[in-house]
């Protein structure tokens, strides 16, 4: 397998998976814009060979589709699937020992290997010499978007208790001192946070190393949600078919196969404003205090290549990352939660805002008809498990024969909507944590959750045409049936929650008078603007707009809503207010002038004409 990123890129090029761009490209928005356009057309990996103001090359779109990812990992792909499977069910090795012989050898070969720093060919450079890529117009500076951020447990130092994560790094801008300070953005439920917490208690700085480049298995290891006790470095070695090589320099761990390494210290409670940054929910994450990393030294290989990606409204390259992770890990996560058969974080809704799950109802097998019980226990377990706890909306259904897969999102929604009792099956969690990047809540990391639990019995037929009653309502405009049982419409824009309460009261009263006409409608969604009728992907638009722009405790209402013994329910359809709110972050929009400038790469005869 690959010893370096350059070796991987040569192999991709040889097999038609990569295109070189020789013409000078500006890292200020141009490189990102080119990447976005090529990705949209399902294009190849890109190698930028002439970056304005920089002596290094950069590569992007390496993981842009599953075909390319499978090609890069080759035969180790299936071995990694077996290794994760074996970690979650070790008894399989006893039942089928011959099947897992090669997997065992792969795991042994994956053990990190210590080497000598002097053998790696690094030279010392400055942060300003790196490819300083700015991705979106409102970004606060240049960012590292495919970093492997390494830290060690202060109480148990060494690679055995290390954490390797992908936490974005701001290289310049804001109040950072050039070449001396960079921003380290990490969100809640991240391993590095545990390490920094321990360092803070000891009142000592946390040494952090940022690896950039190296074999592609190293990048994937940094985002892989591994089972408890499995090291990211071991995973990187097993997936790459080559042991992770490292050394120590000035007390910092160095990846000997990385193309670049930034070393520095994070001191207790020392923060600076980081951001804005165009992020993977399709909006900017705004300026907030995040850990400051004091730069110690920056190292680069002589012919180092800088990998990067561009995140934005899904789908993007990180969507393919997610698909790759799912294919490798399979049912690893569900096996950690008894009774859960499947979990799917919906990429089109920004991942954390919307989670789907299939569970089991085994509490009362002696009863023919059951209500959600065990799946509520499972929902609590899901919302208490690692990054799954960041889910904002969780739709969970009891497993049935021939029930839809969670990845068949529209069919799964239909299945749930046919079975939920709106008076009983909506369960709110208020004043709790949500994804750091989700600005629909009450503050950074603060919001609410809604569990929608569906039993096994079908209790209604969903309307598959728009009921005529919606055209009679003067309070709304442009009603559209988005899918069976779900109607979208427009009202005037959101102003504040006080006015909204009055607006909703009027709207709920009108629909309550028409309940007989709404028996096949479960969900009403309010927008201030939509173009569902002309959209190429109306259901995808519904997922993104609805679940990223609403906070359950504040934005979910119901026709005939009531509170009984502190339980909220409604007798008619639930209503989600998905209008833009003043506290929401701006959504990402391309720069028209930059789009004109990069057209030269897509004109007739140009290197990227095919993907123009």
pLDDT, residue 77, reads 64
Residue 369 lies in a domain: yes
- Do 47 and 183 lie in a common domain? yes
Q: How far is CA 263 from the centre of its chain?
A: 26
Residue 271 token pair: 């923060």
| Token pair belonging to 357 | 């799950």
The rounded distance, in Å, linking the Cα atoms of 141 and 119 is 34
| Angle, helices 232-240/216-223, rounded to nearest 10 degrees | 140
Other C-beta atoms closer than 10 Å to the C-beta of 90 total 10
* 244 and 387 inside one domain: no
Q: How many domains does the chain have?
A: 3
Judge contact between 458 and 369, C-beta under 8 A: no
Q: Please report whether residue 605 resides in a domain.
A: no
Residue 334, pLDDT score: 61
Does any domain span residue 94? no
**Contacting residues for 505 by C-beta, under 8 A, at least 6 apart:** none
Choosing from 308, 343, 362, the residue where a domain stops is 308
Please indicate, yes or no, whether residues 180 and 276 belong to a single structural domain of this protein: yes
Q: Establish if 104 belongs to a structural domain.
A: no
Q: What per-residue confidence (pLDDT) applies to 305? A: 98
Residue ranges in the chain modelled with pLDDT below 50: 90-101, 103, 105
Cis peptide before 315 (omega within 30 of 0): yes
Rounded CA gap, 336 and 134, in Å?
39
Domain that holds residue 55: 5-74+110-308
Structure tokens given for 100:
């897992």
Is residue 84 one of the residues assigned to a domain? Answer: no
Within 380-456, strands assigned E span 393-398, 426-433, 446-454
Whether 147 and 211 have beta carbons less than 8 Å apart is answered as yes
CB 298 within 8 A of CB 52: no
Domain shared by 477 and 386, yes or no: no
Reading the block at residue 67, the tokens are 């075909």
The single-letter DSSP state of residue 9 is H
Q: What is the CATH number of the domain that holds 133?
A: 2.30.110.10
pLDDT tens digit string along 234-256? Answer: 888 888 888 999 999 999 999 99
Q: What is the pLDDT of residue 85?
A: 58
CATH number, residue 542: 3.40.1670
Do both 40 and 163 map to the same domain?
A: yes
From the list 560, 337, 393, 367, the residue with the least C-alpha distance to 455 is 367
The answer to whether 100 and 92 have CB atoms below 8 angstroms apart is yes
Same domain, 35 and 169: yes
Same domain, 356 and 251: no
pLDDT of residue 88: 54
Taking a C-beta distance cutoff of 8 angstroms, is the pair 241, 76 a contact?
Answer: yes
My answer on whether 394 and 439 are in the same domain is yes
Kindly report the CATH number assigned to the domain that includes residue 405.
Answer: 3.40.1670.10
| DSSP single-letter state for residue 437 | T
- Residue 26 sits in the same domain as residue 130: yes
The whole-number pLDDT of residue 321 equals 80
- Is 609 a member of any domain? no
Does residue 128 sit in the same domain as residue 259? yes
Three-state SS letters, 314-362:
CCCHHHHHHHHHHHHHCCHHHHCCCCCCEEEECHHHCCCCEEEEEECCC
Q: Report the alpha-carbon distance of residue 260 to residue 485 in Å, rounded.
A: 52
Are residues 440 and 517 both part of a single domain? no
- Residue 348 in domain: yes
The angle formed by the CA atoms of residues 417, 418 and 422, to the nearest 5 degrees, is 60
* pLDDT number for residue 94: 39
Per-residue confidence (pLDDT) for residue 456, from 0 to 100: 85
Instruction: Point out the domain boundary residue: 422, 454, 486.
Output: 454
487 inside domain: yes
Alpha helix (H) ranges present in 437-589? 497-512, 538-548, 552-555
Whether the pTM exceeds 0.85: the reply is yes
For residue 436, the model assigns a pLDDT of 86
Which of 260, 291, 308 is the endpoint of a domain?
308
Give Cα 532 to chain centroid, integer Å: 25
- Same domain (yes/no): 325, 408: yes
Count other Cβ atoms within 10 Å, centred on residue 331.
16
pLDDT for 238 equals 82
């Amino acid at each position: 397998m690959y010893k370096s990123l350059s070796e991987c890129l040569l192999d991709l090029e040889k097999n038609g998976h990569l295109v070189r761009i020789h013409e000078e490209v500006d890292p200020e928005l141009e490189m990102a814009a080119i990447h976005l356009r090529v990705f949209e057309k399902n294009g190849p990996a890109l190698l930028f060979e002439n970056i304005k103001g920089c002596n290094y090359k950069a590569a992007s779109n390496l993981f842009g589709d599953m075909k390319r990812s499978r090609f890069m990992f080759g035969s180790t792909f299936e071995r990694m699937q077996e290794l994760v499977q074996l970690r979650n069910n070790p008894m399989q090795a006893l039942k089928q020992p011959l099947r897992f012989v090669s997997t065992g050898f792969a795991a042994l070969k994956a053990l990190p290997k210590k080497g000598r720093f002097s053998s790696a060919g690094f030279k010392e450079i400055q942060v300003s010499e790196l490819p300083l890529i700015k991705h979106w117009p409102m970004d606060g500076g240049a960012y590292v978007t495919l970093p492997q951020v390494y830290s060690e447990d202060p109480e148990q130092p060494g690679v055995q208790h290390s954490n390797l994560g992908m936490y974005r790094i701001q290289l310049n801008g804001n109040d950072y001192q050039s070449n001396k300070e960079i921003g380290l953005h990490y969100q809640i439920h991240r391993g590095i946070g545990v390490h920094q917490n321990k360092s803070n208690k000891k009142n000592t700085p946390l040494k952090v190393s940022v690896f950039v480049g190296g074999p592609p298995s190293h990048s994937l290891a940094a985002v892989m949600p591994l089972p408890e006790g499995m090291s990211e470095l071991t995973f990187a070695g097993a997936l790459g078919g080559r042991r992770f090589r490292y050394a120590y320099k000035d007390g910092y761990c160095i990846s000997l196969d990385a193309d670049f390494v930034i070393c520095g210290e994070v001191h207790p409670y020392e923060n600076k404003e980081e951001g804005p940054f165009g992020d993977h929910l399709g909006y900017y994450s705004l300026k907030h205090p995040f850990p400051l990393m004091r730069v110690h030294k920056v190292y680069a290989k002589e012919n180092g290549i800088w990998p990067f990606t561009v995140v934005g409204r899904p789908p993007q390259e990180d969507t393919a990352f997610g698909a790759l992770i799912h294919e490798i890990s399979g049912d690893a996560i569900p096996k950690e939660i008894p009774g859960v058969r499947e979990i799917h974080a919906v990429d089109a809704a920004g991942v954390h805002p919307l989670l789907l799950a299939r569970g089991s109802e085994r509490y009362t097998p002696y009863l023919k008809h059951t209500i959600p019980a065990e799946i509520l226990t499972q929902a609590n377990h899901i919302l208490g498990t690692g990054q799954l706890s960041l889910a904002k909306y969780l739709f969970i259904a009891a497993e049935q024969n021939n029930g839809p897969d969670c990845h068949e999102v529209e069919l799964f929604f239909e299945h749930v909507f046919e079975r939920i009792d709106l008076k009983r099956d909506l369960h709110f969690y208020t004043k709790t944590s949500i994804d750091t990047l989700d600005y629909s809540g009450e503050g950074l990391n603060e919001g609410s959750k809604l569990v929608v639990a569906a039993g096994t019995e079908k209790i209604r037929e969903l309307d598959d045409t728009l009921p005529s009653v919606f055209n009679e309502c003067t309070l709304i405009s442009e009603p559209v049936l988005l899918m069976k049982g779900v109607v979208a419409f427009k009202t005037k824009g959101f102003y504040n929650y006080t006015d909204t309460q009055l607006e909703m009261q009027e709207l709920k009263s009108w629909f309550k008078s028409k309940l007989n006409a709404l028996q096949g409608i479960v969900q009403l969604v309010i927008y201030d603007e939509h173009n569902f009728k002309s959209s190429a992907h109306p259901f995808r638009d519904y997922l993104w707009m609805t679940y990223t722009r609403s906070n359950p405790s504040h934005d979910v209402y119901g026709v005939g809503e009531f509170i009984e013994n502190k339980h909220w329910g409604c007798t008619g359809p639930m209503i989600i207010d998905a209008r833009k709110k003043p506290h929401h972050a701006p959504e990402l929009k391309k720069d028209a002038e930059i789009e004109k400038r990069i057209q030269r790469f897509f004109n007739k005869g140009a290197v990227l004409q095919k993907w123009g």
